[in-house]
Chain A
């Protein structure tokens, strides 16, 4: 158990809908990362937050957004869903936003868009 929790574990929804994925980092970790794992693209970095502020953006679509709340949990919002958004979404946390500190991954949320 990494200490990072993600809910829900599975999500099935229809095209055009909007969903919210939730992540709680390990106790004491200030930095949260979101990654998408799909068969086509592999594991891709989406976005990073540190202590409530956006720190870095990767290949995140404009239909996707995220935020980190004062209690440090984070939410990833996916809207106008398309079939191609079906993927496993991972959240990871670390103590620091930089350097060699390990990132601890949650179990992921599997999103299926039908």
Chain B
């Protein structure tokens, strides 16, 4: 079945450091890929998405490229801020069969950014 594997962390960085959170997936067909962010005490917010191979999703300085050849969707940001401290979830949504709507999540990566 479909699954998502992401580095679990926690990841601790200094402000302005470069961030990479790895995410790989297993899926049949051509899923859509997402990164969600969860700030402390809040629900999940969509950070970015990509719906087909080689698409690049970007938002708030974060980027991720849908790589079908390596089944990956790594999240990157060139210069993190303290306000980026949160838990980041990689997710996929299959585009076939009966489970077309629900998201399948990785276990989440907690990011802490120190001033």
Contacts and interface: CB of A to CB of B under 8 A. Distances in A.
A45 B70 CA distance: 26
Nearest to B43: A105
B59 to A, nearest CB: 12
Interface stretch (B10-18, B20-28, B44-52): B44-52
Contacts of B51: 100
Contact of A97 (B43, B100, B104): B100
A28 B104 CA distance: 24
A42 interface: yes
B58 interface: no
B101 A31 contact: yes
Contact of A48 (B42, B43, B102, B105): B102
Contact of B108 (A31, A43, A96, A107): A43
17 contacts: A2-B43, A2-B45, A4-B43, A33-B103, A35-B103, A42-B105, A43-B89, A45-B103, A45-B104, A48-B102, A56-B98, A56-B101, A97-B100, A97-B101, A99-B100, A100-B32, A106-B43
Contact of B102 (A2, A33, A106): A33
Contact of A105 (B45, B102, B106): B45
Given A4-B43, A42-B107, A102-B46, 18 more contacts: A2-B43, A2-B45, A33-B101, A33-B102, A35-B103, A42-B105, A42-B106, A43-B108, A44-B105, A45-B103, A45-B104, A55-B101, A56-B99, A58-B99, A58-B102, A100-B32, A107-B43, A108-B43
Contacts of B32: 100
